[in-house]
Amino acid sequence: MQLILLLSKPRTLQLFPLLLCLLLPCLSQPLPSPSPSPSPSPSASPAPPPSLPLSPFNERLEAAYVAFQAWKHAITEDPKNLTEDWCGPFVCNYTGVYCAAAPDDPHVLTVAGVDLNHGDIAGCLPDHLGLLADVALLHLNSNRFRGTLPPSMQHMRLLFELDVSNNLLAGAFPAFLTSLPGLKFLDLRFNAFDGELPAAVFGRRLGLDAIFANDNRFNVSLSSASLTNSTASVIVLANTRLAGCLPPSIGDMADTLVELILLNTSISSCIPPEIGKLKKLRVLDLSHNELAGELPASVGDMESLEVLNVGHNMLAGEVPEAICELPRLRNLTIAGNYFCDEPVSCLHVPLRDDRMNCIPDWPHQRSPEECIAFAHRPPPHCAADGCIVIPPP
């Protein structure tokens, strides 16, 4: 309602806050003068006339002024005084605010980015935030913002990076995020968002390059139509609840995927052999789940792999020698499983953790009784969709 009133007031009343702030002492900073041009030498060709600096007064910056003032009033604590200088019409001089020429008009100055990372600021994000329509980077991590992301942010059609990690935000996934055409980097981790993480987040239409949704209360469905349809290079869903199994179509992300972290997500699944198609993958963390069966030998085809963590699952059998011979492997964790053999080549991996398995004559292993009891269990059967089929009694 406040926004509607502001937009409906006569022009004179809209400018009144600007004129008032012009009289305040905090606005006495002069605009920087352009550097004097050097005198040309007689033999030099005439220099082109210097370009005029972009004016700090236009409709876009006036709208940004309204947005920042509404935001400042929604802030309840600012221990580092980052927003102390958020007064006056020269929004490009505000701490954390970055201006540039508008992409659609190089003669117009506009707000291109806001960076308040690690500010420890408390408050909420007002609906006026949508007035920052040209913002490409919005970095708000490590603050104490509550509530949710305002729907007006759907007007940020140029938004490229959104980082609101490590805040106190809650509620359902902001659906408008899937309609932002330029969004490539999305970081929502360490908040209290809940409900379904829509499949569109992983869709090729949105085309995110990095997805950080870990440490929320999201429910994520693993299927060939959701996660494995992604074009992202980084997917981090740790400490969320995943439903479904690792599908064989996980190999369809071979062209883009570089980092996949699904630790502590309650996955009950086999590891499909098709995972070996991910030849660009550098980090794979599937630890602290309920994975069963064997570690596929095809993992040894993942030539870019540097970190492999499958610790604390129910994997068994032998560790394939090809995995330990991967040229870039620097960190191998298989601890907390039931492996019965590990090749000597694994000793050459710089960081290795193979404790609490069933490897004979190896230090720090499970007790013989525990290993024998596990060996007498019916072996898991892995279905075509990657799920574990429990044999009938």
11-22 vs 59-73: helix axis angle to the nearest 10?
A: 70
The token duo for 89 is: 């019409």
| Class (C level, CATH) for 195-392 | alpha beta
**Virtual torsion, Cα 38, 43, 49, 50, nearest 10 deg:** -30
The amino acid present at 386, given as its one-letter code, is G
Local confidence band at 393 (pLDDT 50, 70, 90 cut-offs) = low
Q: Supply the pTM of this predicted model.
A: 0.83
**What local confidence, expressed as pLDDT, does residue 29 receive?**
37
| Higher local confidence (pLDDT), 344 or 386 | 344
pLDDT at 16 over 50: no
Report the half-sphere exposure of 53 (CA within 13 A, side-chain side): 9
195-392 and 57-186 share a CATH fold: yes
Distance CA 271, CA 382 (A): 9
Nearest alpha carbon to residue 237 among 258, 263, 259, 256: 263
Of residues 83 and 12, more confidence is placed in 83
Express each pLDDT in 352-363 by its tens digit: 999 999 999 999
What's the pLDDT tens digit per position in 129-176? 999 999 999 999 999 999 999 999 999 999 999 999 999 999 999 999
Instruction: Please give the mean pLDDT across all residues of the chain.
Output: 87
- pLDDT surpassing 50 at residue 64: yes
Residue 39 has which token pair? Answer: 């005198």
Domain chopping of the chain, boundaries: 57-186, 195-392
Which pLDDT band holds residue 203 (cuts at 50, 70, 90)? Answer: confident
What b/e sequence results for 24-45 when a residue is b if at least 16 CB atoms lie within 10 Å of its CB, and e otherwise?
eeebeeeeeeeeeeeeeeeeee
Q: Evaluate whether 385 touches 245 at the Cβ level (below 8 Å).
A: yes
For residue 235, pLDDT beyond 70: yes
Cβ 174 vs Cβ 198: under 8 Å? no
> At the topology level of CATH, where does 57-186 sit?
3.80.10
- Rounded Cα gap, residues 344 and 346, in angstroms: 5
pLDDT of 294-329, one tens digit each? 999 999 999 999 999 999 999 999 999 999 999 999
The proportion of the chain whose per-residue pLDDT surpasses 70, expressed as a percent, equals 84
Give the integer Cα–Cα distance in Å for 279 and 282.
8
Q: CA gyration radius for the chain?
A: 28
